[in-house]
Amino acid sequence: MKIKNLIVFGASCVLALACQHKQVQQESTLWHTYWRAQNEEHLTSDLVDYSYAGFDFGESDIPVKYWLSEFDVLDFGAKPDDNISDFESIQQAIDAAEEAGGGVVTFPKGRFLVSESRAIQRSLEITSSNIILKGDQSGGTEFYMKDHMTPRDTTKTWTTPAKVVFKGEHIETELVARLAANIQKGDDKMIFDQVPDLASGDVLLLKAKGTFLNAQLLEGLKTRDVWEEINVNGARVNEYHEVKSVDGKVVTLRAPVLVDVDISQSWRIVKYHMISNCGFEQINFTANFLEPFEHLKNARHDAGYKALQMIRCRNSWVKNCTFRNVSAAVVFRSNLSSTVLKCQTVGNSGHESFSFISSTRCMMSYCQDNSLQWHGPNTSHASVGTVIFKFKGKNSGINLHGKSPRVTLFDQCEIGGFTGDRVGKPSHGAHYTNLPNHLDGLVIWNYHQTGLPVSNFNFWDLLENTPEELYGPLTAVNPTVVGFHGVPTSFDASSLGYIESLGTPIAPASLYVQQLKLRGFDIPDFLKEPL
């Protein structure tokens, strides 16, 4: 995102009341230019529309009522608070809901034992659409994970499964039709050389990997020699899209494409399988990780007490849950338009809180890290279009775990900044071979820094004066910083795409909300509610 020569419309700025700081805020010039570009055909703006993130692309609320049958786990033999494993009974209730074509698996108050010994190395597994695990409305339902899981590959800690897994089957179907026209970033249409075998509601995966992507996604910036992945294999694009309509050879998408596509290069589009409308809510998950956390010590520390994964899901959610003493709380992998809402970590510190991996247009809203997880809120591995909205944490800071994440919005977050962990050591994520942390499209909007102060922070410090250092500050391609405030920090302007109102919040308070309004949609109820 290159907006270094933005025109200033100072005379047309409006004033807005800032509720948090009880002072008048000036309207952002960047926002004003974007607004004009949406209303005047002769103007353009490089600012991406982030408002498609989250459940149903931001166009409707996460459901609160479900027209599905209920499956009470007590009817399948589960019994809270008896210190006897409930794993099999819960899985039977899930299986019954799946056989019925969908359902709400309900839990009363009390503690349900989902892992009482290492003998049960299986996950509670959901593989169908329209399955919701729902605790008691009072918030008194607890899953207890007494013992840890082990990795499928003992040499790779990240292969450790979560205790609860929603997982669509991995099916990619090649299209006979091929793209017949280039796609520009921001387009919502694909033109094929023949009528494609697609229908409204289908999911497409647009993907590419190679050094031919580097110029576009690095915006011409130089890389370090030790960044092997991007230098040798190139950047990676994985964008999931939902088909809105098909008219002959023209396919219209629910959300715009977030990259330029040149059909003379090595791009693929495949039909992709995902389960949908799955939920996990009103359940408190307690694990048994009570040791002082040591990063990369072993599989048990890094991933043994992972609570929940959603894999190949769309329009799905995790909401109103507390995760205690966990290695990781929630991981979305290969998801589309899904949301983590009003969840928090508490108790002992672990490896990470909430992560989006290889996912598109996902959102975390009103979440908190109260346990000081090693890594902060994360988007990584070619995730794109992520919005992290009003996240709060104990100096967990920004975490971008490398391998080509793009187009991310941190909107009104109140966490640490760019210095890394609690003692200032970098913990932004990513092995040094997988850097930089973030490619194009990073926007940091009305961010309240609570971590250590930084002077003249450089988002593209290549450590040329200390080449022996493999890691360094968080690296991002020409980010946009607007309304950054809190603990005093200054930035090296040469490493930014655009900066405005350093030290003072600015209007609009939320870029996501204003872009959603501009698209003509009501603000979802969950965004109106305080944490």
Using one digit for the tens of pLDDT, what is the confidence trace for 30-42? 999 999 999 888 8
pLDDT tens digits, one per residue of 96-114: 999 999 999 999 999 999 9
pLDDT of residue 314: 98
What are the CA-CA distances from residue 394 to residues 176, 340, 380, 391, 434 (Å)? 51, 19, 21, 10, 26
Give the pLDDT score at 420.
58
Q: What percent of the chain has pLDDT over 70?
A: 92
pLDDT at residue number 320: 96
Report the distance separating Cα 509 and Cα 16, nearest Å. Answer: 9
Burial of residue 264 (number of CB atoms within 10 Å: 0-12, 13-18, 19+): exposed
What's the CA gap between 455 and 233, in Å, rounded?
34
Report the pLDDT value the prediction gives residue 24, as an integer from 0 to 100: 55
Residue whose pair of structure tokens reads 């700025």 in the numeric block: 13
**For the chain, percent of residues with pLDDT exceeding 90:** 76
pLDDT of residue 531: 44
Contact 523, 31 (CB under 8 A): no
Q: Parallel, antiparallel, or unpaired for β 15-18 and 189-191?
A: unpaired
The candidate with the shortest Cα–Cα distance to 191, out of 179, 175, 204, is 179
What tokens appear for 504 in the block? 């003072």
At 23 the pLDDT is 54
Q: Which of 157-161, 189-193, 439-443, 506-510 has the lowest mean pLDDT?
A: 157-161
242 close to 255: Cβ distance less than 8 angstroms: yes
The beta-carbon contacts of 177-182 under 8 Å, at least 24 apart in sequence, are: 177/249, 178/263, 179/261, 179/263, 179/267, 179/269, 180/249, 180/263, 181/263, 182/260, 182/261, 182/262, 182/263
211 vs 158, which has greater pLDDT? 211
Give the other-Cβ count within 10 Å of 10's Cβ. Answer: 9
- Write down the pLDDT at residue 478: 98
> What pLDDT is stored for residue 426 in this prediction?
53
Q: What is the pTM of this model?
A: 0.93
Distance, CA of 335 to CA of 272 (rounded, Å): 11
β pairing state of 317-319 and 443-445 = unpaired
pLDDT of residue 527: 79
Which residues contact residue 281 at a Cβ distance below 8 angstroms, ignoring those fewer than 6 apart?
132, 133, 134, 135, 317, 318, 319, 320, 321
Alpha carbon 229 to its chain's center = 22
Q: Hey, what are 254's tokens?
A: 């629910």
Cis omega (within 30 of 0) for bond into 436 = yes
DSSP character string of 355-414: EEES-BS-EEES-EE-S--SB-SEEETT-EEEEEES-EESS---B---SS-EEEEEES-E
The span from the CA of 348 to the CA of 327, in Å, is 9
As separate numbers, helices (DSSP H) first and strands (DSSP E) second, the chain gives 7, 40
pLDDT tens, position by position, 276-296? 999 999 999 999 999 999 888
| Mean pLDDT, all residues of the chain | 91
Q: Please tell me whether the peptide bond between 508 and the residue prior to it is cis, using omega within 30 degrees of 0.
A: yes
**Would you state the pLDDT for residue 17?**
28
